[in-house]
Amino acid sequence: MSDDALWAALADPHRRAIVALLLERPRSVGELVRHTGLSQPGTSKHLRVLREAGLVQVRQDAQRRVYALDPAPIAALDAWLAPYRALWNRGLDALGHRLDQTAGPSDRTDSPPHRRTDPP
């Protein structure tokens, strides 16, 4: 699996919708077709791209193919995004500090500031 294949697979909104459905639980192709509103051949093509990128695994269950999310590539994406998340948090911290400096005494509260750990 290459990083380029991973990003390309997630660039398509239909594939992101499939990944979101698989986040809930493994699903058969038929279920994915019903939930996405795509045709069976279209859904299968998207699943092939996701499988080749390493994002999903497939198993045979009698006559059905059941797809499940593989968390390893998602963890790799999360690790890649970590420095950007830190950059975002530094910006939010600086904004909070600036707002604290410009707030008048009646605007301040005794509660500690809330920090976001994830971008909106």
Q: Do residue 42 and residue 93 come from a single domain?
A: no
pLDDT of residue 115: 57
Q: Do residue 65 and residue 77 come from a single domain?
A: no
Q: Do residue 57 and residue 86 come from a single domain?
A: no
Residue 117 lies inside a defined structural domain of this protein: no
Q: Do residue 62 and residue 8 come from a single domain?
A: yes
Tally of structural domains, the chain = 2
Q: Do residue 63 and residue 82 come from a single domain?
A: no
Residue 34 lies inside a defined structural domain of this protein: yes
Q: Is the pLDDT of residue 110 over 60?
A: no
- How do residues 28-86 score in pLDDT, each as one tens digit? 999 999 999 999 999 999 999 999 999 999 999 888 999 999 999 989 888 888 998 88
Close Cβ partners of 111 (under 8 Å, ≥ 6 residues apart):
none
Interatomic CA distance for residues 120 and 78, integer angstroms: 15
Interatomic CA distance for residues 44 and 30, integer angstroms: 10
The structure's pTM equals 0.71
Can you tell me whether residue 12 is helix, strand or coil?
A: coil
